[in-house]
Structure 1
Amino acid sequence: MIEKIRNKAKKVFDNLSVAQLYEHTIIKNLGIISSSGALVVNTSPYTGRSPKDKFVVLDEYTENLIWWGDVNHPIEREKFDRIKEKALGYVEGKEFYTWSGYAGANPNYTVEISLITESPYHCIFANNLFIRKNELKPNRIVEKIGIVHLPFLKLEGPKDGVRSEVAVILDISEPLIFIAGTLYCGEIKKAVFTFLNYLYLEKFDILPMHCGANRDLNSMSTALFFGLSGTGKTTLSTDPSRRLIGDDEHGWTENDIFNFEGGSYAKIINLDFYKEREIYLATNRFGTIIENAVCDLKTREIDFSDNSITENTRSAYPNKYIEIMEQSLMGEIPATIFFLSADATGSLPPIAILEGNQILEYFLLGYTSKLAGTERGVKDPEPTFSEAFAKPFLPLNPIKYAQKLFENVKKYKTNVYLINTGWIGNRYPVAKRIDLSYTRSIVKAALEKRIDKNNSYVHPVFGFKVPFVPNLPSELFRPHNLWQDENEYYKQANSLKKLFEEKLEKYRNLINK
């Protein structure tokens, strides 16, 4: 389809430099330059993903392969063909931009990405987020994915066989990603991730993971940080005392782990230099895309605390902007895994040790509180469960991912911890989120193997071990003592535990095995 667009377009700009794409963005009135040199864009009205508008083409190959339902909506090939015909009529006489690069930093499992878009700054986004061709020499290309990006094409909902004016359609058989009706950059990133979540597990028995990863400076010991948007994956994996392998998407082979991407897409609401120095410096640079943050039109200064457009403000920057980056984007088999949950009920302790079936349970739960702005229509935190911490991006049944993780953890004797980066002392909005400095200290203690399983207690509701972390207040690890009304705490905790059991019921037979 990309070639057909090239033939019908008025003009196609191939692989322009970032500076040239800046110029085209400004000429088209699609962005402005901040005082720090970053390119500031506004994707309204869509400032988050549109999960109900995501489709997978239904054909003989995908019919019995894809996990159909609320996450993966089927669209018949005939309907998709009509949408493509409509798109080809739309593109006539318009200017387009292309970018090509890679996903998958392991040179033995590299995927080639080719993007064509009517928005110049989305080429900058792709250049920042994926792997530049001059930075990787693949031993083999295992797949080639085309992306057709038409953010100004508004579809006609049910008339076009979709739900609204927005559509994100994955054609696994072609393979092609088609995006229409939305400027939100995250749709490109997560559509590619969804495709890789199919490809790597189904074709190569590689576990794809929605996680951050970093490694020790000296021992090369690797850690993974699983979590949904807003739980702290980027913040905690971007640790100045360690090398960052990646902040969001990785694969686990029998020999190593590797980043799918070549950059970061960080949440920047309330971004603070002193709390998140690496992200702050990377955000405020030429070449970075700042998405939906408020910029003073006179001074061109960014107000990172202003959420008037959305809570889901973002910056997209290449890995070379992070001083602590592991440039190979690869690491050893992980020694430590953290499951991150931003618990809004105030029930979970700051850390828990997960053992045996608990690992499988919490991976299949993927519990957190959905935070404002990451999806359309979400304003206040609400409990959510996302299998493998990646439900919106799983094309295959979650059981397949859980089985592979459990197999890997057992094989390599990886330590697994549950970390609460949410609220303690009470539920939202009465309490405050746990201080980031505490969370960093807890993670550091786990990485340095200073967590003593014998210096712990079994939580009376959740049944996991809660350790006491050296040099931190012991009361922090007894969440029931932090509530003014202890009975109210147990009421809240038992309610959450009941939710856990309900969500795990459909997987109980697998867990018991």
Structure 2
Amino acid sequence: MTSSGALTAYSGKKTGRSPLDKRIVKEPTSEKDIWWGPVNKPMDPEVWKINRERAVDYLNTRNRIYVVDGYAGWDEKYRIKVRVVCARAYHALFMRNMLIRPPREELEHFHPDYTIYNAGSFPANRYTEGMTSSTSVAINFAEKEMVILGTEYAGEMKKGIFTVMFYEGPIKHNILTLHSSANEGKNGDVTLFFGLSGTGKTTLSADPNRALIGDDEHCWSDRGVFNIEGGCYAKTIGLSAEKEPDIFNAIRFGSVLENVVFDQDTREVDYDDSTLTENTRCAYPIEFISNAKIPCLSNSHPSNIILLTCDARGVLPPISKLNSAQTMFHFISGYTSKMAGTEDGVLEPQATFSACFAQPFLALHPMRYAKMLADKIQEHSANAWLLNTGWVGAGFAQGGKRCPLKYTRAILDAIHSGELAQVEYENYDVFNLQVPKSCPGVPAELLNPRKAWTAGDDSFHAEVSKLGKLFLENFAKYESEATEDVVKTGPVV
């Protein structure tokens, strides 16, 4: 236990997700819908049986196992009943925090839609046909089960359920599952924040003037927006009470701190210590956030869609206003710089593209989600923005600095007040983005990367050109299914 009352736990060798070991069982009921490829590698049903039996046998030999029942999805019409069977107490507490906790009377007659068998302390047999390592994270949509072997990283369970929702939502209910955070203003206006791990979804959606609907996973239905989860899984590296008071104060009795370092005598956590991993985390129930909206759903449809990116090159503007085609282009592109610690082997920021800002978790082809998003934005007349929480003044390699959080928050305040939509804009060439000439609380010179750049014109043009080409190369694989206006809105290199 730490000085704040939170439980500390350690996931062992794996301190991040293992995307290369994710498998979907290839079976007739889902085979035609799944987006097969590097993200969703097929697993033979016979191999599934071997792994499932191995996991269940391991769990059966433990002196004590833990069973957690909960819901995924706050909207009763669309929620999924989940059962977790695991051997580690920390995994049970983690999922008790991350799922929605049913009242006691509902637990008495609880029949799960999906079951997770987490035998992560026990390795998979890497010599089984189709296996490439001793780690296996597999989902079977026909059996409605998930099996984990060879990794004790708790985030695998959370993201497994996310993949289930990416499948069940569109296929069963025609609802759009999103890797986003969401909050609601005092007037009932909802903002969605899309973004990959480390881009600021959790941090930016925690706003003292707005109620938090959720920090990571949502669905947009015909009834509005609802959170999938009952808790938050916040990054804690560099955390302080000054920078992020809501998250800092949520780390108390009932919370689980993962892979942090603390003083054995005082039990004070050193949030700056990345000895074990950059990907230190805390899982806590969403009600630990003082301004959380519970139940975590809104009957309002989003009025602002914010695509978050963390550009390590420093050439994307801190904020741009997007039209419909640009929103589609940047949603399908899902550009960011992969941040240290969120996956095995990632130690420095590197450019990456993740379709729908959620590629590792998608079950269906990205265009299916993109078309659903375009339809919803059009139907509900939402504003769309591209917000860069990455480097300004120069890139990571040229010694630039991360955009200060206070400026990013000032931009958000101007979006929510409506002020930013009213200011004068200028075109930022190559990326053809509309950039505001001014924004309350933000130095004007930071708003246009060309004017903010401090590392010389030549390096600026080189970095812009490089990133533009990377966008076009990545988008080429989606061009055949994209409309002409979306294709044309890409960078002009």
Q: TM-score range by the shorter chain?
A: over 0.9
- Corresponding residue number in structure 1 for 2:122: 153
Contact 2:415 2:421 in 1 (8 A): no
Alpha-carbon displacement from aligned partner over 1:410-457 (angstroms, at most 9, x marks no partner): 111100000000001111141110000000000110111111355010
Which residue in 1 is equivalent to 2:459?
488
Aligned to 2:489: none
SS in 1 for 2:474: helix
| More moved, 390-399 vs 127-136 | 127-136
Aligned to 2:290: 323
Residues 477, 88 of structure 1: alpha-carbon distance in 2 compared, 3 angstrom cutoff:
closer
Alignment correspondent of 1:229 = 197
Q: Distance in 1 between matches of 2:229 and 2:162?
A: 9
Distance 1:438 1:220 in 2: 24
- 8 Å Cα contact 1:105-1:136 kept in structure 2: no
| Letter matched to residue 94 of structure 2 | F
Q: How many residues are treated as equivalent by the alignment?
A: 478
Once residues 89 and 319 of structure 1 are traced to their aligned partners in structure 2, the CA distance between those partners, rounded to angstroms, is: 34
Q: Which moved more, 1:124-133 or 1:501-510?
A: 501-510
> Offset at 1:503?
1.1
* Alpha-carbon displacement from aligned partner over 1:13-70 (angstroms, at most 9, x marks no partner): xxxxxxxxxxxxxxxxxxxx11111001111210000000000001112222110111
Q: 1:471 and 1:145, CA in 2 relative to 1: closer, same or farther beyond 3 A?
A: same
Aligned equivalents of 2:365, 2:421: Cα separation in 1: 36
Residue of structure 2 in register with 1:98 after alignment: 67
2:383 is the alignment partner of 1:432: no
2:433 aligned to 443, 455, 464, which one? Answer: 464
SS of residue in 2 equivalent to 1:400 = helix
Aligned with 1:448 (options 407, 417, 433): 417
CA contact (8 A) 2:55 2:117 kept: no
Picking from 81, 87, 90, the partner of 1:121 is 90
Q: Secondary structure at the match of 2:127?
A: helix
Partner Cα distance (2:56, 2:424) in 1: 65
**Unaligned stretches of 5+ in structure 2?**
486-493
* Residue in structure 2 matching 1:511, options 483, 488, 491: 483
- Distance apart, 1:387 and its partner CA: 0.6
Distance in 2, matches of 1:267 and 1:135, equals 31
Say which SS state the counterpart of residue 240 (structure 2) adopts: coil
* Counterpart Cα distance in 1 of 2:386 and 2:354: 15
Unaligned 5+ segments in structure 1 are 1-32
Conservation of the 8 A alpha-carbon contact between 2:67 and 2:83: yes
> Does 1:34 find its partner at 2:2?
yes
SS in 2 for 1:61: coil
- Matched residue SS, 2:316: coil
Deviation (angstroms), 1:493: 1.0
Q: How big is the shift at 1:231? A: 0.2
- 1:117 and 1:160 mapped to 2: Cα distance? 25
Q: 2:256 aligns with which of 275, 289, 303?
A: 289
Pairing partner for 2:448 from 453, 458, 478: 478
* Secondary structure in structure 2 of the residue aligned to 1:91: helix
- How many Å apart are 1:86 and its aligned residue? 2.7
Q: Is contact 1:361-1:511 (8 Å) kept?
A: no
Q: Distance in 2 between matches of 1:116 and 1:137?
A: 18
Q: 1:101 to 1:185 in 2, by over 3 A?
A: same
**Change in 2 beyond 3 A, CA 1:48/1:432:** same
Matched, 1:352 2:323: no
2:342 matched residue in structure 1: 374
Indicate how the Cα distance of structure 1 residues 384 and 65 shifts in structure 2: closer, same or farther if over 3 A, else same. same
Please tell me whether residue 314 in structure 1 is matched to residue 281 in structure 2.
yes
1:252-287 superposed Cα distances (whole Å, 9 cap, x missing partner):
01121000001100001000111100000002x001
Higher alpha-carbon deviation: 444-453 or 231-240: 444-453
Partner of 1:22: none
Q: 5 Å matches for 1:164-203? A: 164-203=133-172
Partner of 2:469: 498
Structure-2 residue corresponding to 1:85? 53
The residue identity in structure 2 corresponding to 1:293 is V
Q: Deviations over 1:470-512 (max 9, x none)?
A: 3421101121122231232122112111111111122224131
Please tell me whether the aligned partners of residues 109 and 142 of structure 1 are also in contact (alpha carbons under 8 angstroms). Answer: no
Asked whether the 8 Å contact 1:107–1:136 carries over to 2, the reply is no
Output the amino acid matched with 1:303.
Answer: D
Determine the C-alpha separation between the residues in 1 that align with 2:54 and 2:403. 50
Cα distance in 2 for partners of 1:88, 1:50 equals 21
- CA distance in structure 2 between the partners assigned to 1:45 and 1:158 by the alignment: 20
* 2:180 is the alignment partner of 1:208: no
Match of 1:61 among 29, 44, 47: 29
Instruction: Using structure 2 for the length normalisation, give the TM-score.
Output: 0.94
Q: Does 1:389 align with 2:360?
A: no
> For 1:133, what is the secondary structure of its paired residue?
coil
Q: Name the amino acid aligned to 1:497.
A: G
**Secondary structure class of the residue paired with 1:231:** coil
Shift of 1:121: 1.3
SS in structure 2 of the partner of residue 37 of structure 1 = coil
User: Is the contact made by 1:213 and 1:237 (CA closer than 8 Å) also made in structure 2?
Assistant: yes
Tell me, yes or no, if the aligned pair for 2:68 and 2:92 is still in contact at 8 Å: yes
C-alpha RMSD of matched pairs (Å): 1.8
Q: In 1, Cα distance between the equivalents of 2:22 and 2:248?
A: 32
- Structure-1 separation of matches of 2:79 and 2:112: 7
2:224 to 253, 256, 264: 256
Could you say which residue in structure 2 is the equivalent of 1:15? none
CA distance in 1, matches of 2:345, 2:14: 10
Question: What amino acid is aligned across from residue 322 of structure 1 in structure 2?
Answer: I
